[in-house]
Amino acid sequence: MSRLIDSVAELFGRDPRRPAPDDITPPAREVHARQRNDRERIENIRIELAHKAKHKPPEKLRRIRWLVLLAVNLLFVLSYRLDIQLLEGALTASRFAGFHMADLNSALQVMLAFKHVLINLLIGTTTVFVLWWLLGGRTFCSWVCPYHLLAEWAEMLHLKLAARRLVKDHPFDRRARTLLWLLFAVLAFATGYTVFETISPTGILSRALIYGPGVALAWVGALLLVEIFYSRRAWCRYACPIGLTYGLVGATSPLRVTYNLESCFHEGECRKVCLVPHVLDTVIKGRARDLNVDIGADCTRCGRCVDTCPTGSLTFRFKGLGDLL
């Protein structure tokens, strides 16, 4: 329970806390002590990193994730263009083969604005809630959200520019996302209007893909420019209420990315590629509370850490079924 509370607190913006000695289990303390004095392990890290530099492993999960994201959004487009009525609507609210589906954050905004529960939204949110609870974390963000894909490409450009010292990342306080989540909820209730939906790049891009582009795409372009030249992944990390909503829903999901302490070299490659690196604070030497630790609710389940880890210390695990990848 304490780990769940910490996970949700970090989702709301609290910085990860270094565990007190009493919070670390005896088996984990034993491994920490052994790793601190293991010179052979340090040499193995150097060999592993040198090998990886020469033989960069393919990011298989990233490729699969991009294909899934493109396929989901393309299905919306084709269903509308070809009028096959398989997947109607957009990501904010849709109907798949007759089943209502509604983005949880959008549904919350609508119900706050109208000040009563709409039956179609209730049905749609129940379906979506169960789906994203099973998948866990912020899976929606990295596997479905079209803005996430553009932001990921923008991040690649940012990193290339940063390597040439042409730009520098300027982090914001992660608690800003929680404040914005509350602000948009209050605005919806007070104005009777879903204010967030007018500026949500997720909704703007989804509608633009399906129904055609509009002037709102200028806002999306402005966000991407900020992320390329000023603050890496600024919208997703520090502003988007959708990620916070889905993080809360998936906080107790049976599907997790799980970290194994004993096999880890603590070389830090996973944190370099992580879209939300604070969730991997536990992989820092001396931080893991147990031999196996579930990664927190703010994890996007993108799988980049799983692909990148040279020792297989990070895996997808479904409770009751064991490791999946």
Q: pLDDT tens-digit profile of 110-136?
A: 888 888 777 777 777 888 888 888 888
User: 189, 216, 248: which is the final residue of a domain?
Assistant: 248
Task: Find all residues with CB under 8 Å of 48, minimum gap 6, and list them.
Answer: 265, 267, 310, 311
Q: How, if at all, do strands 292-294 and 93-96 pair? A: unpaired
Paired residues of 215 in beta bridges: none
For residue 156 the two structure tokens come to 């690649």
301's tokens: 């389940």
Domain count, the chain: 2
Are 216 and 150 within 8 A, CB to CB? no
Helix (H) or strand (E) holding 89: strand 87-90
**Is residue 48 domain-shared with residue 65, that is, in the same domain?**
no
Strand order in the sheet with 99-102: 87-90, 93-96, 99-102
260: helix, strand or coil: strand
- Tell me which of 248, 283, 314 is where a domain ends: 248
pLDDT score for 322: 59
Phi, psi of 301 (to 5 degrees): 55, 30
Same domain assignment for residues 184 and 262: no
Same domain, 22 and 122: no
Q: Are residues 234 and 90 in the same domain?
A: yes
Task: Determine the longest span between alpha carbons in the chain, in angstroms.
Answer: 65
Q: Identify the CA nearest to 273 among candidates 244, 317, 314, 316.
A: 314
Closest-CA residue to 138 (of 15, 249, 26, 25): 249
Q: Are strands 93-96 and 99-102 parallel, antiparallel or unpaired?
A: antiparallel
Answer yes or no: are the C-beta atoms of 315 and 306 closer than 8 Å: yes
Q: pLDDT under 70 in the chain at which residues? A: 1, 42, 51, 53-55, 57, 320-325
User: How far lies 72's CA from each of 57, 65, 78, 224, 296, in Å?
Assistant: 27, 11, 10, 22, 26
Do 288 and 242 fall within a single domain? no
Q: What pLDDT, in 10s, does the model give residues 156-206?
A: 999 999 999 999 999 999 999 999 999 999 999 999 888 998 999 999 999
Q: In this structure, are 21 and 66 located in the same domain?
A: no
One domain, residues 172 and 290: no
Does residue 218 share a domain with residue 180? yes
Residue that the structure tokens 């031999």 belong to: 291
Distance CA(44)–CA(176), nearest Å, equals: 40
pLDDT at residue 293 in the model: 93
Classify each residue of 205-243 as buried b or exposed e, where b means 16 or more C-beta atoms within 10 Å of its C-beta: bbbbbbeeeeebeeebeebbeebbeebbbbbbbbbbbbb
Residue 7 parent element (H or E): helix 2-11
Same domain, 269 and 234: no
220 and 304: one domain? no
Kindly state whether residues 205 and 284 are assigned to the same domain: no
63 by Cβ neighbours in 10 Å (0-12 / 13-18 / 19+) ranks as exposed
CB 75 within 8 A of CB 87: yes
Query: Do residues 84 and 219 both lie within one domain?
Result: yes
Domain that residue 45 falls in: 2-54+255-323
Q: Which of 185, 215, 248 is the last residue of a domain?
A: 248
